Amino acid sequence: MELPVLVIGNKNYSSWSLRPWLALKQAGFAFEEVRISLDSSETRAQILAYSPSGKVPVLTHGKLRIWESLAICEYVAEQLPEAGLWPADPAVRAVARAASCEMHAGFAALRAGMPMDTRARHTHWPMPPAVMDDIDRIANLWRRCRMEYGNGGDFLFGRFTIADAMYAPVVTRFISYGVLLDEDLGQYCEALLALAPFQRWLEEARREIETIDIPRP
């Protein structure tokens, strides 16, 4: 069978693409990558050639099509259980899934008010109250995961898991928008950013030539 293909958007802008891309790279899952620029007249048709939802990311593996970032991560976690993409303990795994689902389903104000643009450095302060609430909730969630389940490791649940991949675009947003964090959470962000695949993604984002004007509310 041919290699799976992960179809993604612009590395500078597509936060949903970053999540499974990082998880798959960290797991050592072999895949090819197809990048579709998200702001052209051909974008929709190009994405629909791969993805029934008309959105990226989508993973194709033979005849299988897996759309939705979190479902792609789950698929690879099951394909490569030895990669430890979820915590081994069922109770901790359930919490890691809850943290991941909360990101996948929530934080609409933060996603709209602080769109991912890894190259940008903004000074849009003060942020609207709903964005501040999302920032506070994320900081509390990270702190609690690290305190209760981190075992002194670098990541939310000690070792890198899908939960870290789900929050990776939040780390780039916190840098772009100058969100200040306490020392422990700052170190968490640095550990995530130091991952070689994350560095590679950011470098490739820097080299992209497209610029997309993302409207902020």
Ligand X SMILES: N[C@@H](CCC(=O)N[C@@H](CS)C(=O)NCC(=O)O)C(=O)O
Q: Which residues bind ligand X (CB under 6 A)?
A: 9, 14-17, 38, 43-44, 55-57, 68-69, 104
Residue 117 main-chain phi, psi, to 5 deg: -155, 90
**Considering beta carbons, is residue 44 or 122 the nearer one to ligand X?**
44
Q: Where do the DSSP E strands lie in the chain?
A: 5-8, 32-35, 58-61, 64-67
Residue 210 main-chain phi, psi, to 5 deg: -75, 145
**Considering beta carbons, is residue 48 or 94 the nearer one to ligand X?**
48
The DSSP bridge partners found for residue 190 are none
Collapsed DSSP state (helix, strand, coil) of residue 157:
strand
Contacts of 95 (CB under 8 A, 6+ apart): 145, 148, 149, 157
The DSSP bridge partners found for residue 155 are 158
Shortest Å, Cβ 134 to ligand X:
17
**Considering beta carbons, is residue 17 or 172 the nearer one to ligand X?**
17
Shortest Å, Cβ 19 to ligand X:
7
**Considering beta carbons, is residue 16 or 174 the nearer one to ligand X?**
16
**Considering beta carbons, is residue 44 or 216 the nearer one to ligand X?**
44
Shortest Å, Cβ 198 to ligand X:
17
Instruction: Let me know: does 118 contact 12? Beta carbons within 8 Å.
Output: yes
Neighbours of 181 (CB within 10 A): 17
Shortest Å, Cβ 40 to ligand X:
9
Nearest in space to 35 (alpha carbons), one of 62, 61, 65, 5:
5
Cα-Cα-Cα-Cα dihedral of 191, 196, 199, 201, to 10°?
Answer: -120
Shortest Å, Cβ 209 to ligand X:
18
Structure tokens at 12: 């500078």
Shortest Å, Cβ 147 to ligand X:
28
**Considering beta carbons, is residue 16 or 188 the nearer one to ligand X?**
16
Residue 158 DSSP class: B
